[in-house]
Every structure is written in C-alpha cells, then in structure tokens.
Amino acid sequence: MASIVRPSLLRQTALAAKPAFRNSALRASAFHTSTRRSAFISPGPQRIEGTVNDPAPVPPPSAAHGSYHWTFERLLAAGLVPLSVAPFAAGSLNPTTDAILCSAVLLHSHIGFQSVIIDYIPQKSHPGLRKLFMWGLNLATLTVGVGLYEFETNDVGVTEAIKKLWKA
C-alpha cells in the first residue's frame, strides 16, 4: 500500500510544502546527534552489556537510598533555613544552636558533595575513581567535623566568628 501511495504523496507534499522545508540541511538536522564532548571527565571506554535495545538496569529498591534519603535531604535543607538565619537575627550567642547549625551544615555539605561525586564520576565506567573520591570525602568530612569541634570548644564558635570577621 505504502509503495503505491508514496509517489503521489511525494508530489503533493513537495508542491504544497513551503520553500524552507525543502532545505536539505534542515531536513537532515533531525537525524544528527550531539557532538559536544564532556568537559570535566572523559566518558571512558563504553561497553554495552546485552543488546542495544535492552533497557537500563533498575537497581534493587531501597528506601534508605531512595525516598527516605530524599526526604531526609529536603528536611535537612528546609531546617537550615531558620537555623542559618536565627542566630544572626536574634543576635545572641548560644553554643547549642551553634552546634546544631554546624552539624546540620556539615551533613548538608557531605550529602551535597556526595551527589556531585555520584553525578560526575559514574560507578560503571570509573568504579575505582568513584571509590577513591567517596572515601576521600568521608575522610574530609571527618577531618572538618573534628576541626569544627575544636573550633567550637577552643575558639569563639562559628556564629560569633562570622560576626567578628564581618564587623572587622
């Protein structure tokens, strides 16, 4: 059926089509894929497992890595809104709120850096690099946690330090 209709359809369409649509460059552009190379990190060797038509693998469902994690991230971020404003707005120095703010900021930063690593260092193509960065981040967060504890106990506390620096 299609082979019978095709020539007559072609003539009709070609007659009716506007000149812009007969531009061959425009016609071919629909089939082009991206030629931009990634900026930060090489895509690495590409191995296609299975056939080209297989869907992407779905990881086993885990609420701790899925919805609970997502909700926790959002609650933490939402909680930081009043936590980061209150000490400066109230103008009072309270070691407890300072400690809560520091812990929340540290966790928020850690989760944020984790998601950056997850996005830019694919587990599949760079498993070793991923592991290195994840453990490097764990070490950095631990170091900063100890540093924050030292700062809170031996120095004036984060809120007060920022105030001092700002008014210097």
Partner 1 sequence: MNAHRLGLAAVRSASASTPFFSQTLPRSLLAATLSTSSSSSLSTPSLKRPITTQKLSPEEGQQVLANQRLNRPVSPHLGIYKMEQTWFGASAWTRITGCTLSGAAYVYFTAYLVSPLLGFHVESAALASGFAALPFVLQGAVKFALAFPFTFHFINGIKHLVYDLGVGFAKKDIILGEKLLWISSLIGGGYLAFGL
Q: Write down the least CB distance from residue 38 to partner 1, Å.
A: 4
* Encoded tokens for 87: 């000490």
126 is in an annotated binding site: no
Q: What is the DSSP letter of 32?
A: P
Within 10 Å of residue 106's Cβ, how many Cβ atoms?
16
Strand, coil or helix: what is 30? coil
Q: Write down the least CB distance from residue 96 to partner 1, Å.
A: 19
120 is in an annotated binding site: yes
Does position 124 interact with partner 1 (CB under 8 A)? The reply is no
Classify residue 108 by burial, with Cβ atoms within 10 Å: 0-12, 13-18, 19+: middle
Restricting to residues 58-77, name those near partner 1 by CB under 8 A.
74, 77
Of 1-9, 60-68, 89-97, 128-136, the segment contacting partner 1 by CB under 8 A is 1-9
Distance CA 74, CA 80 (A): 10
Restricting to residues 10-69, name those near partner 1 by CB under 8 A.
10-18, 21-24, 26-31, 33-41, 43, 46-48, 51-52
* Encoded tokens for 35: 């030629």
Does position 7 interact with partner 1 (CB under 8 A)? The reply is yes
